């Protein structure tokens, strides 16, 4: 069966439809509108931060070479920069989230131009992650660091395509920059790089670029970007092996059980990550099931006869298969078993490009407009579903939900007690991250693991401080707060007091209840 990959000029396909809705401008406009709709929905229902965003808001108080051993710092750097303009509020998180999604779409589209001769198919491929649960749903309230890594994967693959097709020094530097940023976005990016390099060795046109002396420019650029964070890890005696064991190999001591579970999860997790994209494509084009094995074996063969030109569809397929092998080998060699769907971005982010390419190549009746229509329909359907879900998560009966916790009432009480820009010591990251919205000049100290405390500022020695915790942790002052209070030379004033703030249910769907905190006011020292 003939390939749909057509001759290209300068590595970019020039044939096919060029109308505005199917070009880069249309894709960017779609991404911006997508972000605007979901941002508006979120802001209309609640200003509260939730999930990992609360901890990130605490970390982004300062600019640092590193913040935590569990995650590299690029996301916090972005947040710190954006918050210099917006303040530490929900808007800063939404700008980054949907900005990253749009940038990812752009780079996937630019990469897809090298797989398709028709720009309409390239747009569909670039937006296809919206038919993955991790992007179409989960990304709205989480996976923040994974979004940064996904952008880096898409950007670095596009840069690698340019490098392979041109061999220019500038493209080597571009690839090194994208790879360096990826390495300090999330540790999983290193797995993607390994897979990329190994799979490139199977094509002579790519292999010659890897063994070109100019690859040292890529390595040097990436190393220069990674070096500050690497120095921070060493200076603070962090052990990434421990991080790996905790994240993906918690059962490594029981190697047989871990290996079996890891191999099974190496199958289930990719299927979960790519769901429901492949299911939707099978529903739309049931003919894929007929002769699919023969079509797949054919796809494993080179798609062009020019060995000096990269075969990008084959490259993406090889990377997908290598991802499966990587996960299985990880289970066998290290006992890695905790393969969660949200960990699959380094292995299968590019797979949707190949799936769309496979459909376009093997289903003569397939049209990009039909898949594009499904993407649009799904994205539109998500909006009301998400609105209902957000409304339910704002009910007082939702024990784990934080979107409607009345932090404004707590802030009013703290301001009445004289607190403004001093040290705010919290036991819960949800409290700390959200109270920073009301007290942007305050120094937030998080007591619970992972403990985080910015350096003491001169004003912290003379400004009132306060300790905030929930009654479920007891009525007395948390023991961990003692060293933090002594550090600023403070003294607790009187006994801790309860602060009760009514939680009004959204839409009057349930009975209101009080949300309670315990606070302890701390008098400052006389200062320096």
65-110 pLDDT per residue, tens: 999 888 999 999 999 999 999 999 999 999 999 999 999 999 999 9
Q: Please give the average per-residue pLDDT across 467-483, as a whole number.
A: 87
Q: What are phi and psi of 220, to 5 degrees?
A: -65, -40
Q: Please give the average per-residue pLDDT across 175-199, as a whole number.
A: 96
The pLDDT confidence band at residue 10, using thresholds 50, 70 and 90, is very low
- pLDDT of 526 strictly over 60: no
How confident is the model at residue 250, as a pLDDT? 63
Could you tell me the two tokens for 419? 């607190």
- pLDDT of 434 strictly over 80: yes
The pLDDT confidence band at residue 3, using thresholds 50, 70 and 90, is very low
- pLDDT of 38 strictly over 50: yes
Contact predicate 339/266, CB 8 Å = yes
Contact predicate 273/346, CB 8 Å = no
Q: Please give the average per-residue pLDDT across 196-209, as a whole number.
A: 95
Pick 334 or 240 by higher pLDDT. 334
The region of weakest confidence among 3-7, 36-40, 338-342 is 3-7
Compute the radius of gyration of the chain from its Cα atoms. 26
Q: What are phi and psi of 477, to 5 degrees?
A: -60, 130
Contact predicate 316/350, CB 8 Å = yes
Closest CA to 54 of 356, 428, 440: 428
How confident is the model at residue 208, as a pLDDT? 94
Q: Please give the average per-residue pLDDT across 469-498, as a whole number.
A: 88
How confident is the model at residue 125, as a pLDDT? 96
The strand pairing partners of 528, in sequence order, are: none
How confident is the model at residue 373, as a pLDDT? 93
Helices 169-183 and 189-200 pack at an angle, to 10 degrees, of 140
The pLDDT confidence band at residue 506, using thresholds 50, 70 and 90, is low
How confident is the model at residue 245, as a pLDDT? 63
Q: Please give the average per-residue pLDDT across 370-379, as a whole number.
A: 94
Q: Please give the average per-residue pLDDT across 204-232, as a whole number.
A: 95
pLDDT, tens only, 131-186? 999 999 989 887 789 999 999 999 999 999 999 999 999 999 999 999 999 999 99
How confident is the model at residue 390, as a pLDDT? 84
Q: Please give the average per-residue pLDDT across 370-390, as a whole number.
A: 92
How confident is the model at residue 505, as a pLDDT? 63
Pairing of strands 465-469, 423-426: parallel
Q: Which residues contact 35 (CB under 8 A, 6 or more apart)?
A: 94, 97, 98, 99, 101, 102
d(Cα 523, Cα 250) in Å, to the nearest integer? 44
Q: Please give the average per-residue pLDDT across 366-393, as a whole number.
A: 90
- pLDDT of 451 strictly over 70: yes
Closest CA to 356 of 371, 343, 338: 371
Which of 115-119, 147-151, 282-286: highest mean pLDDT? 147-151
Pick 353 or 6 by higher pLDDT. 353
Pairing of strands 443-446, 423-426: parallel
How confident is the model at residue 252, as a pLDDT? 58
| CA-CA-CA-CA torsion sign (491, 493, 498, 501) | negative
| CA-CA-CA-CA torsion sign (99, 101, 102, 107) | positive
How confident is the model at residue 392, as a pLDDT? 77
Mean of the per-residue pLDDT values for the chain?
Answer: 87
- pLDDT of 258 strictly over 90: no
pLDDT, tens only, 264-277? 989 999 999 999 99
Q: What are phi and psi of 173, to 5 degrees?
A: -65, -40
* 92 CB neighbour count, 10 Å cutoff: 25
Q: Please give the average per-residue pLDDT across 5-17, as a whole number.
A: 40
Closest CA to 302 of 210, 193, 204, 162: 204
d(Cα 433, Cα 445) in Å, to the nearest integer? 10
- pLDDT of 20 strictly over 70: no
The region of weakest confidence among 227-231, 331-335, 397-401, 504-508 is 397-401
The pLDDT confidence band at residue 511, using thresholds 50, 70 and 90, is low
The pLDDT confidence band at residue 237, using thresholds 50, 70 and 90, is confident
- pLDDT of 369 strictly over 80: yes
Q: Please give the average per-residue pLDDT across 516-527, as a whole number.
A: 83
Q: Which residues contact 125 (CB under 8 A, 6 or more apart)?
A: 108, 109, 112, 115, 116, 352, 353, 356, 357
- pLDDT of 483 strictly over 60: yes
Contact predicate 280/356, CB 8 Å = no
Read off the DSSP letter of residue 187.
Answer: T
Closest CA to 157 of 144, 143, 170, 174: 174
Report the share of the chain in percent with pLDDT over 70. Answer: 88
The region of weakest confidence among 337-351, 361-375, 427-441, 504-518 is 504-518
Pick 287 or 435 by higher pLDDT. 435
Closest CA to 181 of 223, 241, 214: 223
The region of weakest confidence among 142-146, 384-388, 400-404 is 400-404
d(Cα 83, Cα 56) in Å, to the nearest integer? 12
The pLDDT confidence band at residue 4, using thresholds 50, 70 and 90, is very low
The pLDDT confidence band at residue 260, using thresholds 50, 70 and 90, is confident
The pLDDT confidence band at residue 19, using thresholds 50, 70 and 90, is very low
Contact predicate 251/337, CB 8 Å = yes
d(Cα 49, Cα 99) in Å, to the nearest integer? 18
Q: Please give the average per-residue pLDDT across 111-139, as a whole number.
A: 93
Secondary structure in 3-state letters for 473-488: HCCCCCCCHHHHHHHC
Which residue reads 């942790």 in tokens? 473
């Amino acid at each position: 069966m003939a390939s749909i990959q057509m001759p290209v000029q300068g590595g970019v396909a020039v044939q096919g439809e060029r109308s505005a809705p199917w070009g880069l401008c249309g894709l960017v406009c779609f991404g911006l509108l997508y972000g605007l709709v979901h941002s508006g929905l979120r802001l209309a229902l609640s200003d509260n931060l939730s999930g990992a965003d609360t901890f990130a808001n605490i970390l982004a108080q300062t600019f640092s070479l590193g913040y935590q051993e569990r995650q590299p710092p690029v996301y916090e750097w972005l947040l710190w920069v954006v918050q210099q303009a917006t303040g530490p509020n929900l808007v800063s998180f939404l700008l980054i989230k949907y900005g990253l999604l749009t940038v990812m779409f752009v780079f996937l589209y630019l990469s897809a131009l090298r797989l398709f001769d028709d720009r309409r198919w390239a747009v569909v491929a670039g937006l296809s992650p919206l038919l993955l649960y991790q992007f179409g749903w989960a990304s709205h309230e989480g996976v923040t660091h994974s979004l940064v890594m996904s952008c880096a994967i898409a950007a670095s693959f596009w840069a690698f395509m340019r490098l392979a097709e041109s061999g220019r020094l500038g493209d080597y530097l571009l690839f090194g920059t994208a790879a360096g940023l990826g390495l300090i976005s999330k540790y999983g990016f290193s797995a993607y790089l390994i897979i990329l390099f190994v799979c490139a060795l199977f094509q002579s046109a790519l292999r010659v670029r890897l063994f070109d002396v100019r690859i040292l420019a890529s390595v040097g650029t990436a190393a220069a970007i990674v070096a500050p964070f690497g120095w921070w890890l060493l200076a603070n005696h962090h052990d990434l092996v421990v991080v790996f064991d905790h994240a993906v190999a918690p059962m490594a001591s029981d190697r047989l059980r871990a290996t079996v579970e890891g191999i099974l999860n190496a199958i289930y997790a990719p299927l979960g990550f790519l769901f429901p994209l492949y299911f939707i494509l099978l529903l739309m084009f049931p003919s894929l099931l007929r002769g699919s094995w023969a079509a797949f074996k054919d796809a494993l063969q080179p798609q062009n006869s020019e060995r000096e030109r990269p075969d990008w569809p084959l490259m993406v397929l090889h990377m997908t298969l290598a991802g499966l092998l990587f996960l299985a080998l990880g289970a066998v060699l290290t006992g890695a078993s905790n393969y969660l769907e949200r960990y699959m971005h380094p292995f299968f982010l590019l797979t949707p490009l190949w799936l769309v390419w496979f459909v376009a190549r093997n289903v003569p009746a397939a049209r990009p407009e039909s898949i594009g229509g499904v993407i649009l329909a799904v994205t539109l359907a998500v909006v009301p579903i998400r609105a209902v879900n957000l409304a339910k998560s704002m009910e007082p009966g939702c024990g784990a939900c934080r979107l409607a916790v009345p932090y404004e009432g707590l802030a009013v009480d703290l301001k009445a007690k004289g607190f403004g820009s001093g040290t705010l010591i919290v036991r819960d990251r949800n409290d700390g991250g959200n109270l920073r919205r009301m007290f942007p000049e305050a120094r937030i100290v998080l007591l619970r693991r992972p403990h985080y405390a910015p350096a003491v500022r001169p004003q912290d020695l003379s400004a009132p401080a306060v300790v905030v915790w929930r009654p479920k942790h007891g009525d007395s002052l948390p023991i961990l707060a003692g060293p933090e209070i002594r550090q600023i030379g403070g003294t607790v004033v009187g006994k801790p007091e309860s602060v009760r703030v009514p939680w009004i249910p959204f839409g009057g769907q349930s009975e209101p209840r009080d949300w309670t905190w315990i606070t302890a006011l701390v008098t400052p020292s006389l200062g320096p």
